[in-house]
Amino acid sequence: MRSTGGAGEVFLPCETLWWERALARSLTVDKKVRRALEKIVGRPNVLTEPADLLLYGYDSSTIIGNPDVVVLPGSTEEVARVVEVCSERNLPFVPRGAGTNLSGGSAPTEGGVVIGLSRLTRILEIDAENLRAVVEAGVVNLDLQVLLAPHGLQFCPDPASQKVSTIGGNVAENAGGPHCLKYGVTLNHVLGLTVVLPSGEVRRFGGKAVDYPGFDLVGVMVGSEGTLGLVTEMVLRLRPLAEEVQTILALFDRLENAGEVVSRIIAEGMLPAALEIMDRQTIAAVEASFPSGLPLDVEAVLLIELDGIRESLESQAKRCVAICRELDARRVEVGQTPEEREQLWSARRSAYGATARLSAAILVNDATVPRTQIASVLRQMQEIEKRHGVRIGKLFHAGDGNLHCNILYDPDDPDDFARAEAASEEIFRVCAEAGGTITGEHGVGAEKVQFMRLLYSAGDLEAQRKLKSVFDPKGLANPGKVLPPPVAAGEQVDEHPRRQA
Amino acid sequence: MRSTGGAGEVFLPCETLWWERALARSLTVDKKVRRALEKIVGRPNVLTEPADLLLYGYDSSTIIGNPDVVVLPGSTEEVARVVEVCSERNLPFVPRGAGTNLSGGSAPTEGGVVIGLSRLTRILEIDAENLRAVVEAGVVNLDLQVLLAPHGLQFCPDPASQKVSTIGGNVAENAGGPHCLKYGVTLNHVLGLTVVLPSGEVRRFGGKAVDYPGFDLVGVMVGSEGTLGLVTEMVLRLRPLAEEVQTILALFDRLENAGEVVSRIIAEGMLPAALEIMDRQTIAAVEASFPSGLPLDVEAVLLIELDGIRESLESQAKRCVAICRELDARRVEVGQTPEEREQLWSARRSAYGATARLSAAILVNDATVPRTQIASVLRQMQEIEKRHGVRIGKLFHAGDGNLHCNILYDPDDPDDFARAEAASEEIFRVCAEAGGTITGEHGVGAEKVQFMRLLYSAGDLEAQRKLKSVFDPKGLANPGKVLPPPVAAGEQVDEHPRRQA
C-alpha cells in the first residue's frame, strides 16, 4: 500500500517533507469532472486546493493518501449522482466520515474522489416507543446520544472517538468501544441501511423490523469500510439507558491476577458493561501527563463497569470486589455517583492521549485473542518488545480479548517506524496463531490488508473477492482496502495459521 | 411453487390421494448418479424407495415436494463430494435437518437430491472458559443444551421445536424462539461456519473470535435457507445460564391491555427474556384439549419471563406485577420454582398442539409488526377473519412484535385451503404496510417467496439475486426458495408498500 505511485501516490509519515511533495502534486481530475461534480453539489462543496487535498489525504492511522478532489454532498441523492460520475469516468472513490479511522480505511491510497459525508447530519426519526432511530451517515455519535438521553435511550456503540466520529464511520468500521463486551459491536445495533452502490444506484437493505428475510446484506455492508458502496442513512436499534451504573477500580501487583479476575467474573455468569486493563507502561504514561494518583509500581489497573437495574448492581459489585480481593488486589475502589465514576475512569480516558505524549506517533495494533490466551500472548509480547526494542502501551478491552496495543515510534526516524511495523506484524501473527484476529474494532483498512492472509485461506479470500465483484465490478469503491490482491503465480505468501489449527 | 410439474412435481396437501401419485412417480435419477452417491456415502445412506422419497418430500409446512434421491452423508468431506456430483450433473440439491421447517425451506419443490444432515452429530468442542462450542449441523438443539447445562452454559436460541430441530436447521432459518426478545435470533449467537459451497468447495467464514474482519459472510449464510450452500459445522457463542428465572402469568379482559403492559415494561427499561400473549381462540383450544384452568372469558393471557441474577429479579417481578395490576389484570401469578414456572408455561407450550387438534391442518403465518402497531393490526386481523370465514389462533411473541398467527384449515377441502391462503396473504400485506415483515423466525422458504415483493423493490431483490449468483451460478442450491424470480416483461406484480412509506 505504502509504495503505490502515480495518481494515488502514498506518502510515508516518516518521509521528510512529505507534505511539500503532496502540495506540489498536480491535479489529475480534469475540469470537466470538476464541473460535473460542482453541478451536483454546488461549487463550495468541491475542494481542489492543495491544502484541502492534503487535509483529506489522511485519517488517524499511519497511512496517507492523496485525493484528486474532495466532494461534500448534502443528500443521498447527491451522493448517488457523485458516485455515478465516478463510475462513468472510472474514478476511484473513498467515503469519509470524521476521519478518526485507525487503520487507513478513509485514506485515498489510490487517489480519486474523497466523498465526505459530514453534511449528512439529519436525524430523520426518533421512535422512542419502538426503540428505533433513523439517522444520516454524518451524524456525530455523541450528538445522537445527547438527543436520545431525554428519552431515556442510548445507541449502544460508544467508541472512544464518539465525540467526533460519525455513525456512518462507526457502521463502515463496525466500531466497538469499551461497552461492546455486554452490548456487542455496531453490527448488533443496525437494522437497516440506505446504500449508494458503486453503480450509483440507491438500495435499501433491512429495515425497521428485526430479522428481515432474504440475504443479510446489512451484515455484509456493516464493517465493509466503503468497499461495497456508501452507506448514507441507517436505521438504528436503541436501548434503554441503564438505570444505574457502578464502576470498580482495582490495582494488581501482577498482571496475570487482573486477567484471572476477568475470567472469574465471566465464569460466574456476570456480564459487566466494561472490563478494561491498563498495564504498567500505560499507567506510567498517564501519571506522567495527567496524574490521577495511581501507584507506579503496580502491574495492572482493572476497571469493571456494571450497569443494570439498581437492586442487581449492589450484589454484583460485592461479588466483583470479593473476586478482586481473593486475587490479591492491592486496592479496590467502588464509584457509585457520576462524579466518583468519572474519577475512576479519568486515567483510562486520558490513557491514549498520555501515551501519545510519550512519542510523536503511535501505531495502533488492534489484535484480539480468546480470553484464555491473554496470559500466554502477553508473555510473547514482552519478548517482542525486547527483540524489536520498541515500547508498547497496553490498553486491553480485556473482556472481549482485545489487546489494543499502542506501539510508540518516532515519525522522523524511518528505522524506528520499521521496527514498530515489524513488532506489530509479529503481534498479529501471535494473535492469529492463538485463535484471535487482526482487528477488534478498527477495521482492516489499508494498514492490515496483508494480514488478512493470516486469517483466511486463498479460497476463503476468493469468496470475499467474488462478493466484492458483484457490487463493485469496476473496483472503484475504496480500492486497496480490506482484501489483499490475489496471489500472483510464484509469489510467496504467509501461511494462514488459523487454517492449520 | 405449487404448480411445478415434471421431475420436481409438487403436490398440494389438499389434493386427494396425492401420496398415491407420489408413490407412482418414476425415478428420475439414473443408476450412474446413484452409484456415484453410494460410492461416497455407502449404500445404506442413499435412499430411493418411493416410501423414503415420500417421507423426505415434505417438512412441517403446507409445501410438499418430491425428491429424486435422498443422501445421508456422514462428514463435511462427504457433503462436499455429494454436492460436487450434483454440480457436475446439474442436479438441484436441498439440505435438510429435522424437517421442522414451517415455510417449506426443506421441501424439494424442484426435485433433485435431498441432502439430510442428521448424521453430522458430533460435538467437536465445548470451550466453557471462552464461551464457545463447535458442533456439526445435525446436532439436535436440546441435546446440545443438555450437554452445556453442567457447565452452567446455554446456547440461547431455543425455538419451540428444540427437542427435534437441529442447530444446522436453526442456522439455515435464523431461528428465533420465545427468548429471542432478550437474547436475539440465531445470527447473534453464531461466530463461524464451515460451508460447502454449491461448487463443492469447502469454505470457512468467521471463526472463534468476535468480529472477524472482511465481509461478514457468516451473516449472509445464516438465514439463507441452503440457497447459498450447506452449512456443515458451526462455531457457537455460548452464554451463562441465568442464575434465576421468574415467570409471571396475567389474565386480561381486554387484549389491548395486555399489549399495553408489554409496551410499559419495555418503556421502563426492563428487558424480559420472554413476553408471550395467547388470545381467546388459543386459550379455548388449550382448555379443550389440555385443560390448565384458564378462564374462557378472558381476551388474553400474558406470560412474562424474567431472568438474571437473583437480587434483580425480585424487584423487576414486583414492577411487572404492579404494571399488570394498573392495567386491570384480572389475575396475576408469579412462579419462582421450576415446578411453578412449568405450570404457568404449560398452557403456552401446549398451545400449538392444542390448536392443531381443532383442525387437521394449520397454515402458520409468521408476520411481524413494530410493537406500537400491534393493536391496530389486531383490529384489521379480526376483519380479515370475518371476511374470509377462517379461524385464526394467535400466539404472539409480543415483545418483538411477532404475531405468529395459526390459520386453521381442512386439508381435504381445497376451497378452505384457498381461504386460509387468502387470509394469510392479507395478513402479510397488512403487516408489511405497518412497517413489519413477512417472517419473524420461520424463514421465507417456498411458501412466502411471492411476498418478498411486499418488502423489497425490484432493484433490492436484484441485489440479492446477484449475491446468490456469485455463490450458486448454476442455481442448484435449494432452488425456488427465498427469492422470487425476476419480474417478466409485462407481468403485473404487487407494489411494495414499505418502499412508499
- Give me the interface pTM, i.e. the ipTM: 0.82
Distance from CA of A195 to the nearest CA of B (A): 10
pLDDT computed for residue A500 by the predictor: 37
Tens digits of per-residue pLDDT, B398-433?
887 888 888 999 888 999 999 999 999 999 999 999
Contact A219 B223 (CB under 8 A): no
Looking at residue A189, the DSSP 8-state letter turns out to be G
Do residues A195 and A127 touch, judged by C-beta distance below 8 A?
Answer: no
| Encoded amino acid at A365, one letter | N
Question: How many CB atoms neighbour CB B438 within 10 A?
Answer: 30
Dist CA B95 CA B56 (whole Å) = 11
Question: How many CB atoms neighbour CB A129 within 10 A?
Answer: 12
Question: How many CB atoms neighbour CB B382 within 10 A?
Answer: 11
Q: How far is CA B99 from CA B107, B164, B172, B361, in A?
A: 8, 9, 12, 17
Is pLDDT at B485 greater than 60 in this prediction? yes
Three-class SS state of B449: helix
Q: Which of B460, B494, B450, B442 is nearest to B174 (CA)?
A: B442
Question: Please, is A41 exposed, middle or buried when counting C-beta atoms within 10 Å of its C-beta (0-12, 13-18, 19+)?
Answer: buried
Question: Which chain A positions have a beta carbon within 8 Å of B314's beta carbon?
Answer: 311
Which residue carries 484528486 as its cell? A68
Is pLDDT at B463 greater than 80 in this prediction? yes
Of B219, B228, B269, the CB nearest to A152: B269
Contact A207 B370 (CB under 8 A): no
Do residues B238 and B133 touch, judged by C-beta distance below 8 A?
Answer: yes
What are the phi and psi torsion angles at A212 (to 5°)?
Answer: -65, 140
Which residue intervals of B197-248 are DSSP H helices? 217-221
Of A214, A312, A368, the CB nearest to B483: A214
Contact B401 A209 (CB under 8 A): yes
Question: Which chain B positions have a beta carbon within 8 Å of A210's beta carbon?
Answer: 185, 368, 400-401, 440
Q: Which of B443, B442, B445, B364 is nearest to B2 (CA)?
A: B445
Question: To probe the interface with B, which of A170, A199, A210 has the most B CB atoms within 10 Å?
Answer: A210
pLDDT computed for residue A372 by the predictor: 81
Dist CA B224 CA B458 (whole Å) = 19
Do residues B252 and B299 touch, judged by C-beta distance below 8 A?
Answer: yes
Contact B214 A468 (CB under 8 A): no
Three-class SS state of A374: helix
pLDDT computed for residue B349 by the predictor: 83
Tens digits of per-residue pLDDT, B341-391?
988 998 888 888 888 788 878 888 889 888 888 878 888 988 999 999 998
The set of cell numbers assigned to B24 is: 407412482
pLDDT computed for residue A174 by the predictor: 93
Of B205, B316, B437, the CB nearest to A212: B437
Distance from CA of B204 to the nearest CA of A (A): 6
Three-class SS state of A205: strand
Question: Which chain A positions have a beta carbon within 8 Å of B128's beta carbon?
Answer: 267
Mean pLDDT computed over B153-166: 91
Do residues A226 and A95 touch, judged by C-beta distance below 8 A?
Answer: yes
Question: How many CB atoms neighbour CB A425 within 10 A?
Answer: 19
Do residues A321 and A313 touch, judged by C-beta distance below 8 A?
Answer: no
Contact B470 A466 (CB under 8 A): yes
pLDDT computed for residue B7 by the predictor: 42
Contact A217 B214 (CB under 8 A): no
Q: Which of B163, B216, B132, B186 is nearest to B442 (CA)?
A: B186
Q: Which residues contact B241 (CB under 8 A, 6 or more apart)?
A: A269, B149, B152, B153, B154
Distance from CA of A437 to the nearest CA of B (A): 6
Question: To probe the interface with B, which of A186, A215, A235, A371 has the most B CB atoms within 10 Å?
Answer: A215
Contact A463 B243 (CB under 8 A): no
Contact A219 B271 (CB under 8 A): no
Q: What is the DSSP string of B307-376?
A: EE-HHHHHHHHHHHHHHHHHTT-SEEEEE-SHHHHHHHHHHHHHHHHHHHHTSSEEEEE--B--GGGHHH
Is pLDDT at B239 greater than 60 in this prediction? yes
The set of cell numbers assigned to A48 is: 481542489
Contact B220 A215 (CB under 8 A): yes
Question: Which chain B positions have a beta carbon within 8 Å of A471's beta carbon?
Answer: 463, 466
pTM higher than 0.90:
no
The set of cell numbers assigned to A138 is: 454524518
Question: Which chain A positions have a beta carbon within 8 Å of B132's beta carbon?
Answer: 370
Contact B266 A209 (CB under 8 A): no
Dist CA A68 CA B390 (whole Å) = 65
Of A263, A312, A437, the CB nearest to B212: A437
Which residue carries 511533495 as its cell? A21
Question: To probe the interface with B, which of A131, A180, A211, A455 has the most B CB atoms within 10 Å?
Answer: A211
Rounded (10°) angle between helices B280-289 and B338-357: 100
- pLDDT band at residue B28 under the 50/70/90 scheme: low
pLDDT computed for residue A1 by the predictor: 34
Tens digits of per-residue pLDDT, A438-457?
988 888 999 999 999 998 88
Largest CA distance in chain B: 71
B221 alpha carbon, distance to own chain's centre: 15
The set of cell numbers assigned to B142 is: 436440546
Long-range contacts of A118-122 (CB under 8 A, 24+ apart): A118/A72, A118/A166, A119/A45, A119/A72, A119/A73, A119/A74, A120/A73, A120/A74, A120/A75, A120/A76, A120/A79, A120/A168, A120/A232, A120/A233
Q: How far is CA B236 from CA A262, B87, B182, B230, B249, in A?
A: 21, 29, 17, 17, 32
**Segments of chain A with pLDDT less than 70:** 1-29, 211, 493-501
Question: To probe the interface with A, which of B190, B243, B262, B309 has the most A CB atoms within 10 Å?
Answer: B309
Contact A188 B188 (CB under 8 A): yes
* Angle value at C-alpha A43, between A39 and A48, nearest 5 degrees: 110
A337 alpha carbon, distance to own chain's centre: 30
Strand-pair category, A331-335 with A300-308: unpaired
B292 alpha carbon, distance to own chain's centre: 27
B206 alpha carbon, distance to own chain's centre: 23
Half-sphere exposure of A410 (CA within 13 A, CB side): 7
Q: What is the DSSP string of A428-474?
A: HHHHHHTT-BS-SSS--TTTSGGGHHHHS-HHHHHHHHHHHHHH-TT
Q: Which residues contact B5 (CB under 8 A, 6 or more apart)?
A: none
Question: Which chain B positions have a beta carbon within 8 Å of A315's beta carbon?
Answer: 309-311
Dist CA B189 CA A340 (whole Å) = 35
Question: Please, is B492 exposed, middle or buried when counting C-beta atoms within 10 Å of its C-beta (0-12, 13-18, 19+)?
Answer: exposed
Distance from CA of B235 to the nearest CA of A (A): 13
With CA atoms as reference, the chain B residue closest to A267 would be B129
What are the phi and psi torsion angles at B68 (to 5°)?
Answer: -85, -30
pLDDT computed for residue B357 by the predictor: 84
Average pLDDT, chain B: 88
**Facing residues of B393 across strands?**
B406
Distance from CA of B61 to the nearest CA of A (A): 17
Tens digits of per-residue pLDDT, B31-89?
899 999 999 999 999 999 989 999 999 888 888 899 999 999 999 999 999 999 999 99
Distance from CA of A439 to the nearest CA of B (A): 7
Query: What is the 3-class SS of B125-179, one letter each residue?
Result: EEECCCCEEEEECCCEHHHHHHHHHHHCEECCCCCCCCCCCEHHHHHHHCCCCCC
Contact B127 A223 (CB under 8 A): no
Distance from CA of A240 to the nearest CA of B (A): 5
Q: Which residues contact A446 (CB under 8 A, 6 or more apart)?
A: A1, A61, A63, A65, A103, A104, A105, A107, A109, A480, A481
Query: Strand A230-237's sheet: what is its strand order?
Result: A123-127, A132-136, A230-237, A190-196, A202-206
- pLDDT band at residue B197 under the 50/70/90 scheme: very high
Distance from CA of A294 to the nearest CA of B (A): 31
